[in-house]
Structure 1
Amino acid sequence: MSNQIAANRYAQALFELAQEKNILQTVSSELELAKRVYESTPELGRVLNHPKISDAQKREFIQKSFGDAISETSLHTFFLLIDRKRIDILVPMITTFQALAYEAQNMAEAVVYSAKPLTEQDEQQVANVFAGKVGKANLVVKNIVNQDLIGGIKVRIGDRIFDGSVKAQLDRIERELSTGTR
């Protein structure tokens, strides 16, 4: 079974369990935390995927690492992935789970590229403006700083891109000037 198919199955099962227990938001934020930790700490992935470290040691490591920061449901999901030798699908599973959770809550993730970091107020304003444009009740804003944009913002929500950056405007003007349409 391919990794993405397995990730989808585990994500769907966890999603249904979280909905049944009415802890969807809790599990969602815990998994987001785990994903950030996993992606920002390469040593964690090496330990969890190392064949000479026993499953019991990996479980203990997860227990000590996350401790009380995550619920029993999330913790047991990690243990299940370790026991079934599927810890390599952790990040794709979390990504799929997040997509399912956002859809169930009529939310979406908006990746906002800007020349400088956005304030919380700026992020909230972007969420308010673009939520209606994509037909969602709320947006979760992730800000990525890209100084090549010069100014303005570029917003990606799913497969839609809204580009209001200065760089994009300059590129449009350059194309128009070079084709003589201006």
Structure 2
Amino acid sequence: MALSTEEIAARYGTALFDYAEDMAALETVHADLQELAQAVSDYPQILQAFSDPIFNSAEKAKSLSAIEQGLTKEVQNFLNLLLDYDHFLELPEIIKCFNDLYNQSQKIETGVAVSAVPLDKEQLQKLGAGYAQKYNLQKVILTNVVDQNIIGGVILKVGDCVIDGSVKNKLKKIRAQLINKN
């Protein structure tokens, strides 16, 4: 029975994380993978080329060696392994799995800040730093989603936690209190 993309990503991502940790190269491997993720995002045809049966193994290996320039030995070995086992198409999911493990080990969380108006980088960093301090995390990386229906304030969604500081929510609470008094 063939493995699903999620199973392949979990196996390879975990193996790469453990290998990088054992080799004391976690930071450099993480940095290389971020560059790879960006390159694959910008040029998705890279994945197709390495999975295309038209190209033979020697042509793929030669192309891969050009891409590997400047990457750590650990990442180079890993990319060659993916090529040998024909799992290059799963690279984005493998990187995501690696990043999840990396973030967990470094006490880094990602989340969303929902606001009525766009927030700038500095505002997102301050919100993330405050949340990180309160919940004993090293860092919280937030992305911004604009939803004018919340009227004002911010709703933070980090992991399973939701902190609703929106004006809409506060008005709803005031309304409930007024109804209960009557």
Category of TM-score, reference length = shorter chain: 0.7 to 0.9
Matched positions, count: 175
RMSD: 3.0
- Point out where structure 1 has 5 or more consecutive residues left out of the alignment: none
Distance in structure 2 (CA, Å) of the matches to 1:113 and 1:46: 36
The residue type equivalent to 1:74 in the other structure is: V
The residue type equivalent to 2:99 in the other structure is: Q
Distance in structure 1 (CA, Å) of the matches to 2:5 and 2:83: 14
Please tell me whether residue 97 in structure 1 is matched to residue 98 in structure 2.
yes
Distance in structure 1 (CA, Å) of the matches to 2:131 and 2:118: 19
Q: Secondary structure at the match of 1:25?
A: helix
Q: Which has the larger radius of gyration?
A: 2
Q: TM-score, normalised by structure 2?
A: 0.76
- Specify which of 37, 47, 54 is matched with residue 45 of structure 1: 47
> CA deviation digits over 1:117-162, x for unaligned, max 9?
523x3343122111134432222x2534546577654433223333
The residue type equivalent to 2:18 in the other structure is: E
Distance in structure 2 (CA, Å) of the matches to 1:117 and 1:41: 29
**Bigger mean CA deviation after superposition, 56-65 or 102-111:** 56-65
Percent of aligned pairs with the same residue? Answer: 22
Tell me how far 1:41 sits from its aligned partner. Answer: 2.0
Instruction: Say if 1:74 and 1:138 are closer, same or farther in 2 by CA, change over 3 A.
Output: same
Alignment-derived partner of residue 58 in structure 1: 60
Contact 1:106/1:137 (<8 A) preserved: yes
Distance in structure 1 (CA, Å) of the matches to 2:32 and 2:6: 21
Instruction: Say if 1:66 and 1:144 are closer, same or farther in 2 by CA, change over 3 A.
Output: farther
Alignment-derived partner of residue 32 in structure 1: 34
- Point out where structure 2 has 5 or more consecutive residues left out of the alignment: none
Q: Secondary structure at the match of 2:163?
A: strand
Contact 2:107/2:139 (<8 A) preserved: yes
Q: Secondary structure at the match of 1:22?
A: coil
User: Structure 2 matches for 1:143-162, cutoff 5 A?
Assistant: 143-144=143-144, 146=146, 148=148, 152-162=153-163
The residue type equivalent to 1:143 in the other structure is: T
Instruction: Say if 1:151 and 1:77 are closer, same or farther in 2 by CA, change over 3 A.
Output: farther
Distance in structure 2 (CA, Å) of the matches to 1:55 and 1:47: 11
The residue type equivalent to 1:131 in the other structure is: A
